């Protein structure tokens, strides 16, 4: 598998990050390269041959590169609650300086582990470095992802667990879902396929009451934001579309294209945030990544084999 060779601008960097960060995003050991922080915003994740499809994606570690995601309460009652947390440095002190990425200093994803709840919110930090936001919680086991770049440090996505006590029902088994209904008559469908260890293009199309939506509004500098979570471990990807609003060739819908690369076969939950009429909505789609295309599948007898 080869790394992308053409990187022009933001979307391309993030498209790379979608793939490269997976491969580089293993738990960082003492011998790991400095760039191996495995975040979708890690635009410097170039040059490495993303050879190991078994590498760990972002979001699986609570601590990495001297930074720790620390929830004030890791048990919260169900309902609309204030979630508070800090990002702590290696001495335990709250970090208060963050770079702005995609209009925000920190992006927070809160997802129930069975994929029945998902929120992408932007907390506010006080002077002491405590971040707060409201979230809607149903009983169950949740995962909290903080996606940020401490000033002078690496882009990071840290994850930690949040418990919400109460009776839960068994969720239906997940199934591949290429079309998802969203509130207020919106519907999102996806074409294209994910292949483990390879780049592919996904096209997400947005309609409302059966008509294509052509007046999407920019949200955080793009017509769509896509978070992908691997089923089973909730390995995390945050990706952005090919093209940006106002670049002269990116339409405001109905299609939003993404370049995707997932590290392995398996099931991936895709959460698309898009904005229309001043409201941000989220669509939940599910795709199964297939093995790499046969022409490039390395033979076990020929490591890194070149099939073309």
Which residues contribute to the site for Cu ion (CB under 5 A)? 107
Closer CB to Cu ion, 64 or 107, in the complex: 107
Closer CB to Cu ion, 151 or 214, in the complex: 151
Centre a 10 Å sphere on the Cβ of residue 54 and count the other Cβ atoms it contains. 10
SS3 45: coil
Residue nearest to Cu ion (CB): 107
Closer CB to Cu ion, 221 or 298, in the complex: 221
Whether the CB-CB separation of 225 and 87 falls below 8 Å is answered with: no
CA distances from 183 to 153, 187, 188, 201, 279 (A): 39, 8, 11, 26, 11
Closer CB to Cu ion, 67 or 240, in the complex: 240
The least distance separating Cu ion from the CB of residue 102, rounded to whole angstroms, comes to: 6
**Which helix (H) or strand (E) is 32 found in, with range?**
none
The least distance separating Cu ion from the CB of residue 104, rounded to whole angstroms, comes to: 5
**Which helix (H) or strand (E) is 238 found in, with range?**
strand 236-239
The least distance separating Cu ion from the CB of residue 1, rounded to whole angstroms, comes to: 29
Closer CB to Cu ion, 36 or 95, in the complex: 95
| Burial class of residue 13 (count of CB atoms within 10 Å of its CB; 0-12, 13-18, 19+) | buried
The least distance separating Cu ion from the CB of residue 272, rounded to whole angstroms, comes to: 13
The least distance separating Cu ion from the CB of residue 121, rounded to whole angstroms, comes to: 8
DSSP string, 46-95: -S-----TT---BTS-SEETTEEEEES-SB--SEEEEEEEEEE-TTSPBP
Closer CB to Cu ion, 258 or 289, in the complex: 258
The least distance separating Cu ion from the CB of residue 107, rounded to whole angstroms, comes to: 3
Residue 55's contacts (CB-CB under 8 Å, 6 or more residues apart) are 22, 23, 24, 25, 26, 263
Cα Rg of the chain (Å, integer): 19
């Amino acid at each position: 598998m080869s790394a992308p060779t053409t990187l022009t601008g933001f979307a391309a960097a993030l498209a790379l990050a979608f793939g490269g960060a997976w491969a580089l995003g293993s738990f960082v050991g003492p011998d790991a390269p400095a760039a191996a922080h495995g975040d979708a915003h890690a635009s410097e994740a170039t040059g490495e041959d993303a050879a190991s499809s078994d590498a760990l994606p972002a979001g699986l570690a609570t601590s990495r590169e001297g930074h720790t995601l620390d929830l004030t309460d890791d048990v919260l009652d169900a309902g609309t609650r204030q979630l508070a947390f800090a990002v702590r440095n290696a001495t335990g002190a709250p970090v208060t300086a963050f770079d702005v990425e995609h209009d925000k200093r920190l992006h927070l994803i809160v997802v129930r582990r069975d994929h029945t709840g998902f929120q992408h919110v932007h907390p506010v930090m006080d002077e002491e470095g405590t971040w707060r936001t409201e979230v809607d919680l149903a009983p169950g086991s949740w995962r909290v992802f903080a996606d940020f770049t401490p000033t002078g440090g690496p882009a990071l996505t840290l994850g930690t667990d949040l418990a919400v006590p109460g009776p839960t029902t068994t969720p239906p088994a997940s199934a591949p879902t290429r079309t998802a209904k969203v509130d207020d008559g919106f519907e999102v469908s996806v074409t294209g396929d994910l292949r483990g260890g390879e780049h592919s293009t996904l096209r997400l199309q947005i309609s409302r009451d059966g008509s294509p939506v052509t007046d999407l509004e920019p949200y955080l500098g793009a017509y769509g934001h896509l978070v992908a979570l691997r089923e089973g471990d909730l390995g995390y990807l945050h990706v952005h579309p090919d093209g940006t609003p106002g670049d002269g060739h990116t339409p405001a819908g109905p299609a939003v294209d993404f370049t995707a690369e997932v590290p392995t076969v398996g099931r991936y939950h895709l959460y698309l945030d898009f904005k229309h009429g001043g409201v941000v909505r989220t669509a939940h789609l599910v795709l199964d990544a297939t093995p790499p295309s046969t022409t490039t599948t390395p033979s076990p007898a020929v490591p890194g084999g070149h099939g073309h």
